[in-house]
Structure 1
Amino acid sequence: MQQIPEGTLVVVADGGSARVFTNVGNGRTLQLKQHEELQIQDISAQGVSGQGPSGAVPKDMSISQLNEATFAKQLAQQLNDDALNNRYSHLILIADPKTLGHIRPQLHKEVESRLLRDIAKDLTNAPLEDIQRALS
């Protein structure tokens, strides 16, 4: 198993929120420090700012499906923006399989080059120890 460098951004997401951590360990030991949780913004019948996951609202999507896909879009945009502005060097993305499936195709090649690995598992409500165990 590859070591996780100090400063690696670890994002643990589901369809409505994301917990964000940074590895403050020395590269040999993993020690995650949690930052603010990211939440979906402006939940409404029209989705976030009237946009669905691809900029248009599919007619057959439920409100919860729409919001999950739109949150994935927001998260991908944030990761893209942060990578393009050099706010992180390494990334590990953990998300339930459905959310990860929404996020992956929207990631910029710059994010992909920084992505150490992704894990298809729902750990958003898991204790810190379980998240660290999934990474080791």
Structure 2
Amino acid sequence: MKIPEGTLVVVADGGGARVFRNVGDERTPALKQEALLELVNMNDDGPAGTMPAESSGMQIDEATFAKQLAQGLNDGALKNSYRHLVLMADPQTLGRIRPLLHSETGERLLAEVAKTFTNAPLEDIERALA
């Protein structure tokens, strides 16, 4: 996959996300971390849509974080903060984020990688993109 210079690469799971920018070229990605995101204001916010009554507190927190992450990506797309986006997340988190993405965000999405890389070394993430 080709990842243009400046592409936003978000590596997430249900509890947090690492946000990188590709400072390399298309064929040889080199990521620089820009942010580390975590769930904020979980008592003031909640998950998007409805959750089954038997959902655990952790499941609700993960769904809430996915919603907050999607909102941040949508905001960035609408403000032209990035031109290209790659989402790397476990399948469950991707499934929670995907329906919340604005069409503008979707147009910038180059690829989705359904695998957990949040605790992976930077070299492993870059290798997965190459």
**TM-score under structure 2 normalisation?**
0.93
Match of 2:21, SS state, is strand
Q: What is aligned with 2:47?
A: 52
- Tell me by how many angstroms 1:134 deviates: 0.9
**Counterpart contact for 2:73–2:105, Cα < 8 Å:** yes
CA displacement at 1:53 relative to structure 2? 2.8
Write the mapping of 1:1-136 to structure 2, written as runs, cut at 5 A.
1=1, 3-42=2-41, 47-54=42-49, 58-136=52-130
Q: Tell me the CA shift for residue 27 of structure 1.
A: 2.7
Name the structure with the higher strand share: 2
Q: Any stretches of 5+ residues in structure 2 without a counterpart?
A: none
Does structure 1 conserve the Cα–Cα contact (< 8 Å) formed by 2:45 and 2:64?
no
Q: Distance in 2 between matches of 1:52 and 1:90?
A: 26
Percent of paired sites with the same residue: 60
Cα distance between partner residues in 1 of 2:86 and 2:80: 16
CA shift, 1:61, in A, is 1.4
Normalised to the residue count of structure 1, the TM-score between the two structures is: 0.90
Q: How many residue pairs were aligned? A: 130
Residue 84 of structure 1 aligns with an amino acid whose one-letter code is L
Residue pair 1:50, 1:57 contacting (<8 A) in 2 also: no
Q: Structure 1 residue 77: deviation in Å?
A: 0.5
Which structure would you say has the larger RCO, counting Cα contacts within 8 Å and 6 or more residues apart?
Answer: 2
Using the TM superposition, give the Cα deviation of residue 36 of structure 1 relative to its aligned residue in structure 2, in angstroms.
1.9
CA RMSD of aligned residues (A): 1.4
Structure 1: where are the runs of 5+ without partners? none
